[in-house]
Amino acid sequence: MLDIPLMSNNIIKDDVQCLINFLSESDRFTNGPKVREFERAWSEWLGVKHSLFVNSGSSANFMTMAGIAELYGKGEIIVPAITWSSDIASVITAGHVPVFVDVNLHNFAMAEEELLSKITLQTKAIFLSHILGLNALTDKIIDTCKERNIILVEDVCESHGVTFKNRKAGTIGQVSNFSFYYAHHMSTIEGGMICTDDEDFYQQMRMYRSHGMLRESSDEEYKRNITAEYPDLNPEFIFMVPGFNMRSTELNAVLGLNQIKRLDENIRKRRENFALFCSLLDSGKYVTEFDLAGQSNYAFIVLLRENNPRMFEQITRLLATEHVEFRRGTAGGGNQLRQPYVRKRFPKETPQNYVNAEKIHFFGLYTGNYPDLEKEKIEKLCKLLNAV
């Protein structure tokens, strides 16, 4: 039996020891100095001015879309058919209108031509997702956003370290979101980060994270002006925006600070694993021509060349027998247009029109790619898949 879980050893003994040490030495456990230290470390690792630690990648998405509505107004947000549910749910709940785009098979990201054709005067933002460590950016998308004054948001939740032309994803859009959920490149158990160089957006996000409170802003002049403008309000309790409580804790930040030390080395190992996996897989049976430039994969992609339900069924049975954990449909379970929360709200949309998302939905899955996954297991997995 192959025995490959989706994730292994993501929280190691050393992380646990750090937590124990912290607990025995500290008396402040919610959002405090460790959170700020982790935010600074993350900004440095990524190469951005500001990072804001929140309690999940989805929280980062919800806050970002709410912040765009507050600062720039509601509008159309272009989203991919293959992404996580909160990338679309956040658009809907902030009062924007999601505009769906099918994806490429070489990077599972929005198809450039279709994306460009869906831009209208109402387009507020393009919310792209780097899926399974594959870069989603193109020069044309970046240039179009600049020329047409469209906000570019990058979801890097499952692709920490992926690069586009040697620049880290998450440094190119106006805002970028990361997840540190247990199964991702590094983990704070639950957690997320909002990153930006934009001072105004950062200040908004600080307030959104903590109930919308003015005192969370670090812009002293702004706070003085607002306080003077509302003399009837207690300065400690001025709520500027309809915010959330999406703070994380010092404990999660302690984990993040310890995990970030291993991040680059783990990315290197996972990159190697994925390149090996793609090179060994039979390209007659499986799609293997992924755009590997700058990839930072954390899960092996199995996508049938031909849409063959029987073969897919055989593969899922084989993986189950071999105790190889897998997820059908890749990130978010496949074509989001098939999901009840989308169907209910957009009954005129036809999921079948998103042909590549449909293929990924019905004939795609992923298995785990963790740093200490043995080479022999990767070879054996490919051998078994090639024999189907």
Ligand X SMILES: Cc1ncc(COP(=O)(O)O)c(C=O)c1O
Contact region with ligand X (CB under 6 A), list: 117-125, 153-161, 353-361, 370-378: 153-161
> Cα dist. 353→83, 87, 100, 191, 307 in Å?
16, 20, 11, 35, 16
CA distance 386 to 78: 37
Asked whether position 155 contacts ligand X by CB under 6 A, the answer is: yes
Number of H helices, E strands in the chain: 13, 12
**Contacting residue, 31, 43, 58, 163, with ligand X by CB under 6 A:** 58
Q: Which is nearer to ligand X, 68 or 214 (CB)?
A: 68
**Contacting residue, 67, 80, 133, 192, with ligand X by CB under 6 A:** 192
Contact region with ligand X (CB under 6 A), list: 57-65, 143-151, 162-170, 293-301: 57-65
Asked whether position 57 contacts ligand X by CB under 6 A, the answer is: yes
Asked whether position 249 contacts ligand X by CB under 6 A, the answer is: no
Contact region with ligand X (CB under 6 A), list: 6-14, 54-62, 97-105, 310-318: 54-62
Tokens in use for 16?
């646990």
H/E stretch holding 124: strand 123-129
Q: Which is nearer to ligand X, 223 or 256 (CB)?
A: 256
Place of tokens 């098939």: 338
Q: Which is nearer to ligand X, 157 or 238 (CB)?
A: 157
What's the length of the chain?
A: 388
Closest CA to 185 of 352, 1, 45, 82: 45
Contact region with ligand X (CB under 6 A), list: 6-14, 84-92, 298-306, 318-326: 84-92
Min dist CB 364 to ligand X, Å, is 15
**What is the spatial order of strands in the sheet that 364-368 belongs to?**
299-303, 364-368, 326-328
**Contacting residue, 104, 179, 196, 266, with ligand X by CB under 6 A:** 179
**What is the spatial order of strands in the sheet that 50-54 belongs to?**
50-54, 192-196, 175-179, 151-155, 123-129, 76-80, 97-101
Pairing mode of beta strands 123-129, 151-155? parallel
End-to-end Cα spacing for the chain:
16
Min dist CB 56 to ligand X, Å, is 4
Asked whether position 154 contacts ligand X by CB under 6 A, the answer is: no
Contact region with ligand X (CB under 6 A), list: 15-23, 151-159, 196-204, 296-304: 151-159
Place of tokens 């947000």: 77
Asked whether position 86 contacts ligand X by CB under 6 A, the answer is: yes
**Contacting residue, 51, 64, 104, 129, with ligand X by CB under 6 A:** 129
Long-range own/partner contacts, residues 12-21 (CB < 8 A, 24 or more apart): 14/258, 15/255, 15/258, 15/259, 18/254, 18/255, 18/257, 18/258, 19/251, 19/254, 19/255
Closest CA to 156 of 138, 132, 130: 130
- Counting residues that bind ligand X (by CB under 6 A) gives 16
* DSSP-H helix ranges across the chain: 13-25, 33-46, 57-72, 85-93, 112-117, 139-147, 199-209, 220-229, 250-280, 309-321, 340-345, 355-363, 375-386
Which of the residues 61 through 80 are near ligand X (CB under 6 A)?
61
Q: Which is nearer to ligand X, 157 or 382 (CB)?
A: 157
Asked whether position 304 contacts ligand X by CB under 6 A, the answer is: no
Asked whether position 300 contacts ligand X by CB under 6 A, the answer is: no
Min dist CB 122 to ligand X, Å, is 24
Asked whether position 331 contacts ligand X by CB under 6 A, the answer is: yes
Q: Which is nearer to ligand X, 59 or 217 (CB)?
A: 59
**Contacting residue, 84, 277, 354, 370, with ligand X by CB under 6 A:** 84
With 0-12 CB in 10 A as exposed, 13-18 as middle and 19+ as buried, what is 380?
middle
Asked whether position 157 contacts ligand X by CB under 6 A, the answer is: yes
**Contacting residue, 10, 43, 56, 367, with ligand X by CB under 6 A:** 56
Q: Which is nearer to ligand X, 126 or 157 (CB)?
A: 157
**Which residues contribute to the site for ligand X (CB under 6 A)?**
56-58, 61, 83-84, 86-87, 129, 155, 157-158, 179, 181, 192, 331
